[in-house]
């Protein structure tokens, strides 16, 4: 086994494709296998890896503490059922040993062997599930889910289940348009990135999936890095940065990658936004010299406004120093 494989990076969606980074829509068809220096990723749209049960348990813990991370809207009930069926079929097709989904007449059966649970229900009838369809499927997948509805020529975030947001608040975003959500992103609005991306999404034919990757750095492997949970992670991150040694930075600072899928649902026509969150520590990244070199080049070149928006003002020089030392 290579060192990258031992570090769990064999299927890591390394996001940086050039030595410089600027905002673009960077969309490509979903489900395409992408080779990397450490292995390959992207052959599947959903993910059920060795950490599946841990991620499901972490999501359940966050939902117990803050049930407001699930938001539904009666107007999107059809889209919720669409989401449930799409994801159950996907999981069953992509991980046949772990999941099975079947429909007989009006009834459906979902078997989740990874969690050891089965559900018999009638699609379209919420009384046959223990909770709403979006929450039900959200508790079976590791991805965050947002549903966007198209009206008045724009996309609006109207429902979802988000427990692993990176630096934003799902309850705050709900009800906003695609353009409003991206209002704070520097440069990209002026460059027309979001106008083009929204037009692309609205033209997406039913059933089609596209994907993109996004990235950030953060201290500690904290999945719920949302603004809603800032009181829990922000003071600890600040304390860490004030006292961390170079070894601490190598072990406890992570590249956080979001593999995002955008899917136009077949029946309702809503757009489903899926976010799968992955982490690699700097020490792990350094096991793949091409990745460490790429991160160094990107961070060195990154304009200050993008670095500031990504919360890298204090971290950037520390990450650069640490990766230089690790790859010397
Ligand atoms: C083609 C589709 C999309 C593109 C090109 C896109 C692009 C981007 C980019 C470039 C950023 C800045 C990220 C960073 O520097 O770390 C961003 C942030 C963000 N995106 Fe998207 N995105 C897309 C879809 C979506 C969708 C469907 C949602 C639905 C909720 C969404 C929600 C967000 C949020 C909440 C942020 C953080 C904004 C903030 O700082 O408050 N994005 N997006």
The closest-lying atom of ligand 1 relative to the alpha carbon of residue 160 is 30
CB 40 within 8 A of CB 11: yes
Distance of CA 49 to the CA centre of its chain: 15
CA 130, CA 119: separation in Å to the nearest integer? 9
233-277: pLDDT as tens digits: 999 999 999 999 999 999 999 999 999 999 999 999 999 999 999
264 classed as catalytic: no
272 ligand 1 Cβ < 6 A: no
Angle between helices 315-327 and 289-301 (to 10 degrees): 150
DSSP string, 107-156: EEEEEETTTTEEEEE-TT-GGGSSS-HHHHHHTT-SSEEEEEEEETTEEE
CB 6 within 8 A of CB 283: no
Distance of CA 246 to the CA centre of its chain: 29
301-325: pLDDT as tens digits: 999 999 999 999 999 999 999 999 9
The closest-lying atom of ligand 1 relative to the alpha carbon of residue 155 is 27
Question: Of 88, 73, 158, 160, whose CA–CA distance to 123 is shortest?
Answer: 88
Q: How confident is the model at residue 1 (pLDDT cuts 50, 70, 90)?
A: very low
Beta strands 34-35 and 40-41 are antiparallel
Kindly name the residue from 89, 100, 212, 325 that is annotated as catalytic.
212
Q: Check residue 8 and give its pLDDT.
A: 84
CA 310, CA 45: separation in Å to the nearest integer? 26
Pick the residue whose CA is nearest to atom 8 on ligand 1: 182
Q: How confident is the model at residue 152 (pLDDT cuts 50, 70, 90)?
A: very high
Stretch 162-183: mean pLDDT: 98
The chain-wide mean pLDDT, for the chain, equals 96
CA 18, CA 139: separation in Å to the nearest integer? 36
CA 328, CA 317: separation in Å to the nearest integer? 16
Three-class SS state of 251: helix
């Amino acid at each position: 086994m290579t060192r990258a494989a031992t570090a769990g990076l064999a299927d890591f969606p390394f996001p940086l494709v050039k030595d410089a980074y600027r905002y673009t829509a960077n969309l490509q068809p979903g489900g395409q296998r992408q080779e990397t220096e450490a292995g390959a990723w992207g052959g599947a749209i959903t993910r059920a890896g060795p950490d599946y049960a841990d991620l499901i348990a972490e999501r359940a813990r966050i939902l117990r503490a803050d049930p407001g991370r699930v938001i539904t809207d009666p107007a999107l009930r059809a889209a919720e059922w669409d989401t449930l069926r799409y994801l159950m079929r996907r999981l069953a097709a992509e991980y046949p040993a772990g999941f099975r989904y079947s429909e007989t007449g009006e009834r459906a059966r979902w078997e989740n062997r990874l969690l050891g649970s089965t559900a018999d229900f009638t699609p379209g009838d919420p009384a046959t599930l223990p909770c709403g369809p979006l929450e039900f499927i959200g508790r079976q997948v590791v991805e965050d889910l947002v549903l966007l509805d198209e009206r008045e020529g724009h996309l609006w975030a109207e429902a979802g289940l988000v427990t692993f947001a990176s630096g934003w608040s799902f309850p705050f975003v709900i009800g906003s348009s695609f353009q409003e959500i991206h209002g704070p992103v520097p440069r990209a609005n002026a460059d027309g990135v979001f106008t083009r991306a929204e037009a692309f999404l609205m033209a997406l034919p039913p059933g089609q999936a596209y994907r993109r990757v996004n990235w950030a750095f953060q201290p500690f492997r904290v999945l719920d890095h949302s603004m809603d949970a800032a009181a829990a992670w922000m003071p600890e991150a600040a304390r860490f940065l004030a006292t961390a040694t170079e070894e601490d930075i190598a072990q406890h600072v992570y590249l956080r990658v979001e593999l995002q899928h955008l899917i136009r649902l077949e029946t309702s026509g809503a757009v489903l936004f899926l976010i799968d969150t992955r982490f690699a520590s700097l020490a792990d990244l350094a096991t793949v010299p091409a990745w460490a070199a790429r991160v160094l080049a990107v961070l060195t070149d990154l304009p200050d406004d993008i670095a500031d928006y990504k919360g890298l003002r204090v971290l950037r020089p520390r990450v650069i120093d640490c990766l230089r030392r690790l790859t010397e």
